[in-house]
Amino acid sequence: MDATIQDYASSLALNQSQDDLFLFNSNFNLVRANGIRQRLTIPVLANTFHKEVQAVFKKEKAQGKSNPILVGAIPFDMNQAAQLVVPEWFEIVKPLDRTLSSFVDKDFVHHVCEHSFAPSHVDFLDMIEQVLSIFERGPLKKVVLSKILKLTLDRNVDVPRLLANIMAQNPSAYHFSVPLENSILIGASPELLIRKQGNKIFSNPLAGSAKRFGNADADRQAAKSLFNSAKDHYEHRLVVDAILASLLPVVECLNVREEPSLISTPTMWHLSTDIEATLPTVNPPSVFDLIKQIHPTPAMCGTPTLQAQRHIEALEPHQRGFFSGLVGWCDAEGNGEWAIAIRCAEVSENKVTLFAGAGVVPDSNPESEWLETSAKMRTMLNAFGIKEDVI
């Protein structure tokens, strides 16, 4: 193995205990933390959440910490317990150099001993057909349906090395590694729910996707078809409209383009919209207040939100837990950054669970949605160095 990747992987762990290293790396900040001073595990939607966040920060300040932070993960369903901690140790520094592709660890390879999807291919298609028939009967416009892939690998995963590989392969992503109770949630998300810095906020919803190709012509063609697809623009618009509707009552000034742009990850093309807004200077909402307004967007859930969420609960055979939830951090001033937990895996020794979803709208084709979710899993399969054809 290249010596540099080893150095790089161990520098990420910073000689801290690797089991509980929290990392979040964006274009703006690299946040690393470990240890637990205080834990906050109530649901974000609990009535007491705001009070408890304030109490946590007050206690830190009383102990001489001038700007403490909370880090962790928030589940897709905010009625479920969040996993937030005030760490013993943390640092917020400039993001790592994003030109890391030379660090790609070609010797990092895992073999798959067992794998299974939930739902199975047949059941996934059936789940989509059910939603398509619901569209014909009522006001439902979009539902994001997902599958998980459970893998048993030939050996336990070296998490710092996996993290280094994730970062090297996906230099522009939001990288994260979040210790959960019995596993680690780790990935390279392309999607930012919200960043708040002072009275400026920024969100970057994605929706509308196409698989990328190794062949340059085929890849360009895939991008072009996506950009010209009315179905994908519709899917995308529902997300942008929902975010704007949530933000409009709380912001002073909003800046958003009429039309989405195309962005790419190493495995996917997406339609993308940058949303910037300015908050009032008096009593601005905190990043958690904004999360409560916006999450889950129709990029992860659907339109209308509550109905879509009920259909997801009824149709998906798996619990999403933190998948399609949020990962990130916030400080006592109400600033923070929260990416959406997609293109990620839950890892525990040699057991790995991958997740991928796709927005279903009336023009969706069930098999295309299956293929899209499989293509989204490529990000993590590549990061593990899995060569077997499991998707």
Ligand X SMILES: C=C(O[C@@H]1C=C(C(=O)O)C=C[C@H]1O)C(=O)O
Catalytic residues: 142, 191
Using CB under 6 A, which of 119, 179, 208, 321 touches ligand X?
A: 208
- Name the residue nearer to ligand X (CB basis): 187 or 284: 187
* SS (HEC) of the chain: CCHHHHHHHHHHHCCCCHHHCEEEECCCCEEEEECCCEEECCECCCCCHHHHHHHHHHHHHHCCCCCCEEEEEECCCCCCECEEEECCEEEEECCCCCCCHHHCCCCCCECEEEEEEECCHHHHHHHHHHHHHHHHHCCCCEEEEEEEEEEEECCCCCHHHHHHHHHHHCCCCEEEEEECCCCEEEEEECCEEEEEECCEEEEECEEEEEECCCCHHHHHHHHHHHHCCHHHHHHHHHHHHHHHHHHHHHCCEEEECCCCEEEECCCEEEEECCEEEECCCCCCCCHHHHHHHHCCCCCCCEECHHHHHHHHHHHCCCCCCCCCCEEEEEECCCCEEEEECCCEEEEECCEEEEEEEEEECCCCCHHHHHHHHHHHHHHHHHHHCECCCCC
* Distance of alpha carbon 154 from alpha carbon 114, whole angstroms: 9
Q: Tell whether residue 302 is a contact of ligand X (CB under 6 A).
A: no
Q: Tell whether residue 270 is a contact of ligand X (CB under 6 A).
A: yes
Q: Tell whether residue 345 is a contact of ligand X (CB under 6 A).
A: no
Choices 74-82, 303-311, 349-357, 380-388; region in contact with ligand X by CB under 6 A: 349-357
| Footprint (CB under 6 A) of ligand X, residues 165-194 | 191
Q: Tell whether residue 260 is a contact of ligand X (CB under 6 A).
A: no
| Footprint (CB under 6 A) of ligand X, residues 128-167 | 144
- Name the residue nearer to ligand X (CB basis): 265 or 335: 265
- Name the residue nearer to ligand X (CB basis): 207 or 386: 207
- Name the residue nearer to ligand X (CB basis): 177 or 209: 209
Using CB under 6 A, which of 149, 173, 358, 386 touches ligand X?
A: 358
- Name the residue nearer to ligand X (CB basis): 163 or 356: 356
Least distance between ligand X and beta carbon 270 (Å): 5
Binding footprint of ligand X, residue count (CB under 6 A): 18
Q: Tell whether residue 359 is a contact of ligand X (CB under 6 A).
A: yes
Least distance between ligand X and beta carbon 299 (Å): 3
Using CB under 6 A, which of 143, 299, 315, 330 touches ligand X?
A: 299
Using CB under 6 A, which of 26, 209, 265, 273 touches ligand X?
A: 209
Q: Tell whether residue 342 is a contact of ligand X (CB under 6 A).
A: yes
Least distance between ligand X and beta carbon 376 (Å): 4
Least distance between ligand X and beta carbon 253 (Å): 26
Residues that bind ligand X (CB under 6 A): 144, 191, 206-209, 270, 299-300, 324, 342-343, 355-359, 376
